[in-house]
Amino acid sequence: KQEVTQIPAALSVPEGENLVLNCSFTDSAIYNLQWFRQDPGKGLTSLLLIQSSQREQTSGRLNASLDKSSGRSTLYIAASQPGDSATYLCRGSWGKLQFGAGTQVVVTP
Partner 1 sequence: NAGVTQTPKFQVLKTGQSMTLQCAQDMNHEYMSWYRQDPGMGLRLIHYSVGAGITDQGEVPNGYNVSRSTTEDFPLRLLSAAPSQTSVYFCASSPPGTAITEAFFGQGTRLTVV
Q: Which residues lie near partner 1 (CB under 8 A)?
A: 4, 9, 31-32, 34, 36, 41-46, 49, 89, 91, 93, 95-97, 99-102
In angstroms, give the least distance from the CB of 12 to partner 1: 18
In angstroms, give the least distance from the CB of 19 to partner 1: 20
Three-state DSSP at 12 gives strand
Per DSSP, which regions of 16-71 are E strands? 19-25, 32-38, 44-51, 56-59, 62-67
- The nearer residue to partner 1, 36 or 84, going by C-beta atoms, is 36
In angstroms, give the least distance from the CB of 79 to partner 1: 26
Three-state DSSP at 23 gives strand
